[in-house]
Structure formats: C-alpha cells, structure tokens
Structure 1
Amino acid sequence: DTKAISRDPEVVRAYENDPLGHDHISARMFIGIYQSGHWALEHALEFPLPLLLMHGRADKITSVNASSEFVGKITKNCTLKIWDGLYHEIHNEPEKEEVFKFLIDWLDKKV
C-alpha cells in the first residue's frame, strides 16, 4: 500500500507516479532481507560504531518491534528513537524537519 510510506499526500503521489516504482518484491529479495535481519539480530553485539535507529511507530511496512528487539541486544552505543504517529519514510513525513534536527543533533554528539 503506497499510502503506508508517508502521511504527506505529495510524497505518496510522487511515489505512485514514479515509473520505476512498483509493488512487487522477488522471492530472492525477500529471502535476502529476511536473512539479513536475522543476521543483524544475531551479531548485534559485534557492531563497533555508534548506531542510531529511528522508526515510525505507525510504520506498516517494517516492524518497530524488530527495531526495539535489535536495540535490546546492543548494550551500549545505540540510540533508538521511535517517532509517534510517523509512517515508514520518517524523512518524508510532515515532521521531517524535526526528524532531521534530531539526526543532526545526534551526529553532533557522537562525531
């Protein structure tokens, strides 16, 4: 459902009108994403760099619970920011300026 990417109708319209966009995923791509997600969960403690995970709580495309589970496996150097009401593309939501400000502030503290 293209309406699940953003609450901004212009973003949705642009996505729907993109000739390269489609609503299909190959079995190979699905399996790759699935396996990569499990690998990331299994190897979370090995990640050496500061990590920022941001997720829209209203995301209907990917699991906010999986992001929380991943962060729960990392004991240090990881920040999880869950944005209430935001959909999948938090950088394309009406609150995008707040999202980018949070990201820049986090980078300023970590770099």
Structure 2
Amino acid sequence: MVILLASISSATLGLLVGTIIKPSQVAAMFPGFLIPLVFLGSVFFSWNTLHVTPIIQVLVLLNPLVYVNEALRAILTPQLPHMSLFISIIGILISILIMGYWGRKRFIKMAVGN
C-alpha cells in the first residue's frame, strides 16, 4: 500500500512540477529542486534525528518524500527510530491531495490555453 501511495504521490508531484517548470529550464531543476528534495527527504537520515535542529525538522515536513521514506523505514526496519506509520500515511495522502489539486488545476489551465 505504501509503494502504491508513493507512486501516486510521485506522479502528482511530477504533474505539478511539469506545469511549473518550462522545458528549457529542466536542467536548472536538478540543483534547485531535486537535490534539496532528496537531501531533505529523510533518505539518508531518520526524521527523528533532526531533533537537534527543530526548525529544519518542522520545515522538512513540507517535503512529501519524508513521509514516504519514514513509512518505508517503519515497515522495513521497525527497530530503528521512525515517524509513526499512521502519520506517514496521512502525510502521503495529504500531499497527494494538495499536489494533485494544484497540478490538475495548472494542467487544465495550460491545456485550455488560459
């Protein structure tokens, strides 16, 4: 279930970013968007380990990748510190709704030509 939700979340993020970034600016997307998304997405560390920097710990909650990685960490390595699986899944669902709404709205606007 988490992998399916992660796929949908990634698709909605791709839709949103695809409607914001112009094709000529794709190369600039990597250092300005994707690298911070990955490095602050709890890929290399647990969200709980950010307790020493509380401001960053709160700010990374805007990153949908945090919830995906924490949910996978909770399932695959339950003995390690992780965010609650319930909170992770709620975070993924909220990110799907927000990014899906804005991505769909922007895509329809671009397709219609307004």
TM-score, normalised by the number of residues in structure 2: 0.32
Superposition TM-score, scaled by structure 1 size:
0.32
> Relative to total residues, which structure has the larger strand share, 1 or 2?
1
